[in-house]
Amino acid sequence: MPELPEVETFARQLKPALIGKKILSADLRWNRTLAAPSPKKFREQIQGQKILDVGRRAKYFILHLSSLRPGSGQAFSLIIHLRMSGDLILRDSTIIPGKHDRLIIELSGNKALVFNDTRKFGRVWLTANPDDVLGKLGPEPLGKEFTPQWLYSALHGKRRQLKPLLLDQTFIAGLGNIYTDEALHIAKLHPLAASDSVTEDQAEALREAIRKVLREGIRRNGASIDWVYRGGQFQNYFRVYDRVGKPCPVCGAEIQRIVVGQRGTHFCPQCQSVR
Ligand SMILES: [Zn+2]
């Protein structure tokens, strides 16, 4: 499942080719991929829009489109959540659609942006009010508001285990299973430690670890751990994730796996002993 670095990689790689393109039409091939508006309204509203910018918020991929009406100041955003198996592909518009293509956006220049999604969990929104989709998200971990002080007081405002709390997108946005396990290892914090037991120094270490691991993931174009997301290299640099029984890169102890909130969780029992 793509996390922040994988979605950021999609945005960075697609941005140069998408900016300035005009949307000629949209071929919605699986209606439930579209969360809002209705399919009819979607086709009408997206037609003729121009792509002004390409970005990301948390695990959401965003196309910033032109204004609704000239002078209205209101602009549309096309927001895509890839979920389990979503993939974004830019290809020639002449290519015949694939079986799992859920949405094909025909662009000027004989190109098409294709949302392919084998398992159909991905969702797409077209909205003039992005906050309807993104408004409840916690701070962006690479953003300015994610300070050590914020993290310390936010951790103490909850009484939850660290791993599930960091996965909670309303607490902090963009982390998934891989980067959470990696960050907790770097910060030497146990995944089951109580959030309100974390000291100021530990909160600062955790913040640094989260930013370090996300930046490293982005630098390596994300992690490719299954057939969906390709081209990333971060999977070759995992410290704990998916390394059960292998030596911890810091102390050599065997990495262990436990299940926390239904998620496989990997940690070093020696480095991350504090509970
Ligand atoms: Zn260790």
How far, in Å, from the CA of 210 to the mean position of ligand 1?
Answer: 18
Q: Structure pTM?
A: 0.94
Report CA(162)–ligand 1 centroid distance (Å).
18
Name every residue whose Cβ is closer than 8 Å to that of residue 165 and which is 6 or more positions away in sequence: 155, 158, 171, 195
Tens digit of each residue's pLDDT, the chain (275 residues): 889 999 999 999 999 999 999 999 999 999 999 999 999 999 999 999 999 999 999 999 999 999 756 666 679 999 999 998 899 999 999 999 999 999 999 999 999 999 999 999 999 999 999 999 999 999 999 999 999 999 999 999 999 999 999 999 999 999 999 999 999 999 999 999 999 999 999 999 999 999 999 999 999 999 988 767 778 999 999 999 999 999 999 999 999 999 998 999 999 999 999 76
Scanning the structure block, which residue is given the tokens 């701070």?
139
Query: Kindly report the CA angle at 85 between 84 and 91, in degrees rounded to 5?
Result: 145
Q: How far is the CA of 255 from the centre of ligand 1 (A)?
A: 8
In the residue annotation, 2 being an active-site residue is answered as yes
CB atoms within 10 A of CB 36: 14
Cα–Cα distance between 86 and 60 in angstroms, integer? 11
257 beta partners: 266
182 is catalytic: no
Secondary structure class of 161 (helix, strand, coil): strand
Q: What is the C-alpha separation between 172 and 208, in angstroms, rounded?
A: 14
- 37 prior amide bond cis, ω within 30: yes
Task: In whole angstroms, give the CA distance from residue 213 to residue 164.
Answer: 18
Among 111, 160, 263, 269, the one annotated catalytic: 263
**What distance in angstroms lies between residue 140's CA and the mean position of ligand 1's atoms?**
28
What are the helix and strand counts (H, E) for the chain? 7, 11
